[in-house]
Amino acid sequence: MILQHHLVLTLCAVYGILLKVTAQKSTLRGSSGQHPLVQNQTVTEGGTANMTCRVEYNDQTSLQWSNPAQQTLFFGDKKALRDNRIELVRASWSELTISISEVTLADEGMYTCSLFTMPVKTAKAYLTVLGVPEMPEIDGLTKPALEGDEITLTCMTHGSKPAADLRWFRNEKEIKGAKEVNASGKTFTVTSSLQLLVDRDDDGAAYTCKVDHVALLQTPQQATEVLEVHYAPRVVITNSLTFPQEGQYLKLECVSKGNPSPDPVMWTKDGGELPDLERMIVEGRELTFTTLNKTDNGTYRCEASNHLGTSSAEYLLYVYDPNAMGQHGPDHALIGGVVAVVVFVTLCLIIVLGRYLARHKGTYLTNEAKGADDAPDADTAIINAEGNTHAEEKKEYFI
């Protein structure tokens, strides 16, 4: 009985201690554990920002969000500022989340979450608003440009925040431009210029200006201009035969490149008009001889021009006589020469080989005869002579 009473008392004491510990713990929570927690936010203009404020342990103390101008936006679940863009997402003792839609650059700043303990505890979250760069524009292009012109292409984009980066590409290959950044209010105007000495190779070249910016991860902005370059023609003559012979067909082409295209081209022979022959046909840029004649020898010239200039090329025609090709046809002469050399070398080989064979047969016979002097029969003679003849004997065999 006494023992039982004692046990009850002990249990009560233990319970009391437990109660005390629990009480202490909750006071601990109430003072130092009751903190609002927030995070900085970054939103692209036009987007929606969610501002969340959390408290781990809350003994039913109210939470509040206020904007950079210190105006209260929400006090618990109660809206305090008349702004349709600001809405309540979640309100509880442990969280107050509001959303700001269609964010503008003016919404940027320090937002405050307050927890109304004594004293009031606050946490600050910075809302960063990214300015989306506008579509870039390329300026300074003259169409068409003339070869040798110096032009400066300028690419400009407004409204970026932070300042955008501009990159130039010529036919997909990056080239360096000169960048300039000017602030205008909260955003930046970025320009990049490119100085070009226009070349005929620039005709049809695409110059692209690309905008690089954090707010443009999915939709890169760019502008492209294709250069049109006018230049004076440049002419060359190509021919279908290397050694034109009498009676052959020959085609000369006047390859001219110019912009605008120099059409048509003009052919002359020895400074005068082409002789009016049925064998010579001019068609577009081509001059064809259906059957070449010795009388066609001469200097042929083609000329092309556009409004920027004139260019010409000459071709010296020398009609080879097919009967005299032995002298004039290096192709045949070369082949003949090669054949002659081959025949000569073969003959020499045969002669040398023949002489070699004849000489060794001779030695063999001599040796055999030498051995025979001190041997009873021919076989022994061979064996006797073997010491110095065997190798040569074999050699002969193999040949």
Closest CA to 112 of 130, 133, 127, 131: 127
- Cβ proximity to ligand NAG, 137 vs 199, nearer residue: 137
Are 235 and 309 contacting, i.e. CB atoms less than 8 angstroms apart? no
Q: Is 319 in the site for ligand NAG (CB under 6 A)?
A: yes
Q: Is 270 in the site for ligand NAG (CB under 6 A)?
A: no
CB of 183 to ligand NAG, least distance (A): 9
Q: Is 332 in the site for ligand NAG (CB under 6 A)?
A: no
- Residue 162's CB is within 10 A of a number of other CB atoms, namely 14
Among 99, 240, 305, 363, which residue interacts with ligand NAG (rule: CB under 6 A)?
Answer: 99
Q: Is 182 in the site for ligand NAG (CB under 6 A)?
A: yes
Distance CA 85, CA 99 (A): 8
Sole window of 11-19, 162-170, 286-294, 304-312 interacting with ligand NAG (rule: CB under 6 A): 286-294
SS3 state at 166 = strand
- Cβ proximity to ligand NAG, 192 vs 221, nearer residue: 192
> In the structure encoding, which two tokens stand for residue 17, read together?
């201690």
Sole window of 61-69, 132-140, 319-327, 334-342 interacting with ligand NAG (rule: CB under 6 A): 319-327
Are 115 and 41 contacting, i.e. CB atoms less than 8 angstroms apart? no
Q: Report the chain's C-alpha Rg in angstroms.
A: 51
DSSP label at residue 76: T
Q: Is 320 in the site for ligand NAG (CB under 6 A)?
A: yes
Residues 336-375 that bind ligand NAG (CB under 6 A): none
Q: Is 290 in the site for ligand NAG (CB under 6 A)?
A: no
- Cβ proximity to ligand NAG, 78 vs 294, nearer residue: 294
> What would the x/- binding string for ligand NAG be over residues 222 to 261, using CB under 6 A?
------------------------xx--------------
Q: Is 331 in the site for ligand NAG (CB under 6 A)?
A: no
Strands across the sheet containing 206-212: 173-175, 165-170, 206-212, 221-226
Are 257 and 228 contacting, i.e. CB atoms less than 8 angstroms apart? no
Report the amino acid identity of residue 230.
Answer: H
Closest CA to 254 of 246, 244, 264, 242: 264
Q: Is 318 in the site for ligand NAG (CB under 6 A)?
A: yes
Chain residues binding ligand NAG by CB under 6 A are: 40, 48, 50, 89, 99, 126, 180, 182, 189, 191, 246-247, 291, 293-295, 297, 318-321
